[in-house]
Amino acid sequence: MNQMQIPHPASPLLPHCEPSLPALAYYDADWFAEEQKTIWARSWVYAGRVNDLPVMTMRRVEIAGQNLILVRDREGAITAFHNTCRHRGSELCAEPARKLNSRLIACPYHQCSYGLDGRLVRTPFVSITPDFNKDDFTLFKVHVKLWNGFIYLCLADDPPDFADVPDLGAHALDNWPTESLVTGHTFTKTLDCNWKVFWENYNECLHCPGIHPELSAAVPIYSKGYMAPNEAPDWTPEQEAEHALREGAMTWSMNGLACGPEFTTLTQAERDAGQTFVTLVPTMFIVAHVDYIRAVSLKPLGPERTELKAEWLFPAETLAQPDFDLGNVVDFATLVMSQDGAACEMNQRGLKSSKFTEGVLMPQEFDVYRFQSWIRDRMEQN
């Protein structure tokens, strides 16, 4: 046994072991359906980058089992609605995305047309009676929030304050030119695991030495099973932070070198950190480096299936370099995510044992405990 010494009072380590969520939380259909209502339908959920939604475009989006449309008008304003006509409920957009030829959203069934603000404008081919008021039949709006070039939607009538969603605060990425970055590469993979399994894996590094040999070599502290120096049992606040990446490395890439000009607005602490993680539960996390940003989002597809999507964001000037090596950047994190995916699927398979009813969280799993407490709180609010 590794006997734990008493950590510093400022240490994040748990002072004792805690029970995990019950095993059925990761595969039970009823639990999953309840999460869709109490978590995903009441949270801000990532819906894409502004730069990837051209003007005069309508795109389908699904959140918590709801069929939605995301719309960007000629001036660049973005709105979102439930993908249902107020006449008899037909979906307004049947394809994944399409260009809008006018400032109207026309129902393909009976040609009822709505302004891009959701107002009912035209009802051709039908007789209008005195008791019919167009203002009573606007499209069902969905709340939209733009942050650093990311688009978020919330289905709730009264959405939570977005300022409380990024774990490092709404200004965590102020020193990065995030809004102006463009998408240089996208990686999508379906994982055979519950969405919470992926988040729990993300929230601890106990698995890093065994699962991520390449990442542990690039970020030496990960090789100890720590995410940060303050997880060491003998850590004290007086210890100075050191450059987090291996000697000679500046970013996450196969060779550790930057893919282009480094962002000039970063602090020395942000450069030394090597990576700044900003987490927006339940929908995504963002990893900001000195030369690019990676955004990773999750979409629950079922109790035991999750869509993982990663987007690499660069300055347009970086992508335009004649010697730009995209593979040097994306291959490293793709390897890490593939290793994480395999580990999560392994975890999911083990959870189905008839003998396993719940697990135990160890002191270093304080962020897993925090995440599971967040889940419990929201499930109990129903």
User: Per-residue pLDDT tens for 201-254?
Assistant: 999 999 999 999 999 999 999 999 999 989 888 888 888 777 899 999 999 999
Q: Are residues 180 and 319 in the same domain?
A: yes
Q: Are residues 242 and 222 in the same domain?
A: yes
Residues 357, 247, single domain; the answer is: yes
Mark out the alpha helices in the chain (DSSP H runs).
Answer: 29-35, 195-202, 208-211, 213-218, 268-273, 316-319, 326-351, 366-380
Cα distance between residue 81 and residue 340, in whole Å: 35
d(CA 133, CA 306): 43
61 and 84 assigned to the same domain: yes
- Do both 347 and 269 map to the same domain? yes
Is 291 a domain residue? yes
Any domain includes 102: yes
Q: What is the CATH number of the domain that holds 119?
A: 2.102.10.10
Domain boundary pick from 154, 186, 212 = 154
Return the bridge partners of 146, or none: 151
pTM reported for the whole predicted model? 0.95
**In angstroms, rounded to a whole number, what is the distance separating the alpha carbons of residues 309 and 297?**
5
Report the amino acid identity of residue 132: F
Say if residue 369 is in the same domain as residue 253: yes
What range defines the domain where residue 113 resides?
A: 45-154
pLDDT digits (tens, 9 = 90+) for 244-276: 999 999 999 999 999 999 999 999 999 999 999
Examine the pLDDT at 1 and tell me if it is beyond 50. no
- Quick check: 374 and 283 in contact, CB under 8 A? no
148 and 262 within one domain: no
Spatial contact of 326 and 184, defined as CB atoms under 8 Å apart:
yes
Helix axes 195-202, 366-380, angle to 10 degrees: 140
The CATH number linked to 298 is 3.90.380.10
Total domain count for the chain? 2
On whether residue 149 sits in a domain, the answer given is yes
